[in-house]
Chain A
Amino acid sequence: MHVQPLLDVRDLSKTFVLHGLGAKLITGCRNISFQVMPGTFLAITGVSGAGKSTVLKCIYRSYLPTDGQIIYRWGESETDIARLDDRGVLNLRRLDIGYVSQFLRVVPRVSALEVVGERLLVEGASLGDARREAGSLLARLKLPEELWDAFPANFSGGEKQRVNIARACLTKPRLLLVDEPTASLDPGTKRDVIELLRELKHEKVTIVATLHDREVVEQLADEEVQMSGGRVWSTAS
């Protein structure tokens, strides 16, 4: 049987209009096209300002795409995320698509376990079950157990990032979007995060990540889209 891409980005462009500066136009990305097959890892690479995060945020719809299509397929159905209404996007986020931002933002004074377990709580799991599952994932990511009941707002950059990744991975989304997962990590933690992403890949989670660390790209990526000045510069697999 012919396998269809899970995600099919076609001629995606994003232009920001800054009204405060006399409707100045800023190009985020231009004519971006690529496909992601189910269960594969695609890396979007390039220097800072190349437009990597813009593409990722358009797929998650934190940004409204200006032009182009983002075709997402599940089962026999498909939808254009670029044109999907807000309700549709919320449903996809709840059921299908996870996102790991560069920076963790959470309610102050909520414990790491509850931050990580929140998706399970939303789905109706008991607090005990959510905490247990969150704890086992945090253990895998080697977050010291003494921090589990502490508040992530006070954590170091690396600890925060582990909470951030654990939060998005707990319910195993079909598509995981990851923005610079290893940027603020020491070598040891970086290895743990790479290991977790590799395991998710084995569990058939499709991953699109922005990366600028060559080592991580080489260890994880099946495909690579190199961006420069908001455009695709080359694609490789």
Chain B
Amino acid sequence: MSEPHEGKPVLNVQGLELRYGRGCPFCVAATGPEAAANRCPHCGTIVACAEVDFSLYEEEVLGVVGESGSGKTTLLRCLNFDLAPTAGAAYLADFEGGQANIWDANPQRKRYIRNHLMGMVYQNPRDGLDLDVTAGGNIAERLIMANQRHVGHIRARSSYLLDRTEVPVDRMDEPPRTFSGGMQQRVQIAKALANGPRLLLLDEVTTGLDVSVQARVLDLLRSLQRELGISMIVVSHDLGVVRLLTHRTAVMKNGRIVETGLTDQILEDPQHPYTQLLVNSLL
């Protein structure tokens, strides 16, 4: 018996764990969804996430859902090196042939991974952009970090990316502070895509946007994913966003993944009590 088509994982995460505090041997066992707690009752350590394992495949979009404090943003920030995990390993197919743990890489190699191999889009444009530097300058910064030096090429690439993300190119030389929320988010997406990464990390990208703007950003992400053939991790507490964007979904609670499945199966036939509660709470 064989699969009709074998895909390769782009990213493989094993045993990701992040604790805040001195830690004790009971931290992991005493926290999590069964205990309904993130704080270890023995030593007071906060376990933001633990025992997180998953794989992301070529051209696949994985949703990560869960309430505030479930660890979904922590997971993304660890992947982007914004946070350093206490334990665990992550392998990127594009880095050392998928043989080396990216969290063990030296700072220089980490910068390389961040600038070339993945792009991150934050919930708040302020975290991903310098709002007082021009839109074009924001993208240029990323290109320069990847050793692009030719001004003409940088300008051409920046205007291509802005056009592609539906930001009026004639506003390239204006700072994003003067842009609407939806437009700032699209500049962030353009910047994340600057160096052609195969993996895009998206943290609550449509939260806080008007519904009309939200629809446009969702449609943009879908067409970019399709045309560029990239993989994406979409963290959101909005199950509607996850339904429209993702193939598979992981559900997190108290720092653990409690259930993973096809997105339609998670929404129509959730297995874990917490997922059932989450889906049944949908308006």
Contact = CB atoms under 8 A, between A and B. Distances in A.
B262 interface: yes
Interface string A15-35: 011111000000000000000
Contacts of B7: 87, 91
B262 A89 contact: yes
A106 B7 CA distance: 26
A16 B1 CA distance: 29
Interface string B232-269: 00000000000110011000000000001110110011
B57 A62 contact: no
B280 A20 contact: yes
B271 A64 contact: yes
Q: Chain A's interface: helix, strand, loop or mixed, by majority?
A: mixed
25 contacts: A19-B272, A20-B273, A20-B276, A20-B277, A20-B280, A57-B269, A62-B268, A62-B269, A63-B268, A64-B261, A64-B269, A64-B271, A77-B2, A78-B1, A79-B1, A86-B261, A90-B60, A90-B247, A90-B248, A91-B4, A96-B4, A107-B219, A108-B218, A109-B219, A110-B219
A110 B265 CA distance: 24
Interface of A: 16-20, 57, 61-64, 74, 77-80, 86-92, 94-96, 105-110, 121-122
Nearest to B59: A122
Interface of B: 1-5, 7, 57, 60, 211-212, 215-216, 218-219, 222-223, 226, 243-244, 247-248, 260-262, 264-265, 268-269, 271-273, 276-277, 280
Given A61-B265, A109-B216, 4 more contacts: A20-B280, A62-B268, A87-B7, A91-B5
A47 B260 CA distance: 33
B261 A107 contact: no
Contact of B3 (A64, A88, A110, A122): A88
B280 A62 contact: no
B215 to A, nearest CB: 4
A86 B248 contact: yes
Contact of B215 (A17, A62, A107): A107
Nearest to B262: A86
Contact of A108 (B215, B243, B248, B273): B215
A91 B59 CA distance: 12
Nearest to A72: B4
Given A90-B247, A109-B216, A122 B226 contact: yes
B262 A88 contact: no
Contacts of A108: 211, 215, 218
A64 B268 CA distance: 10
A109 B182 CA distance: 15
A121 B223 CA distance: 9
Contacts of A17: 271
Nearest to B277: A20
A20 B226 CA distance: 38
Contacts of A106: 244
Contacts of A88: 3-4
A22 to B, nearest CB: 11
A180 to B, nearest CB: 16
The residue in B60, B211, B262 that gathers the most chain A C-beta atoms within 10 A of its C-beta is B262
Nearest to B3: A88
Contacts of A95: 4-5
A79 B2 CA distance: 7
A57 B262 CA distance: 13
B211 to A, nearest CB: 8
B51 to A, nearest CB: 19
B268 A57 contact: yes
Given A61-B265, A62-B262, A64-B269, A109 B215 contact: yes
Nearest to B1: A79
Contact of A92 (B4, B215, B222): B4
A14 to B, nearest CB: 8
A156 B38 CA distance: 48
A87 B9 CA distance: 11
Contacts of B57: 87
A121 B265 contact: no
Contacts of B276: 18-20
Given A20-B276, A95-B4, A107 B271 contact: no
Contacts of A91: 3-5, 7
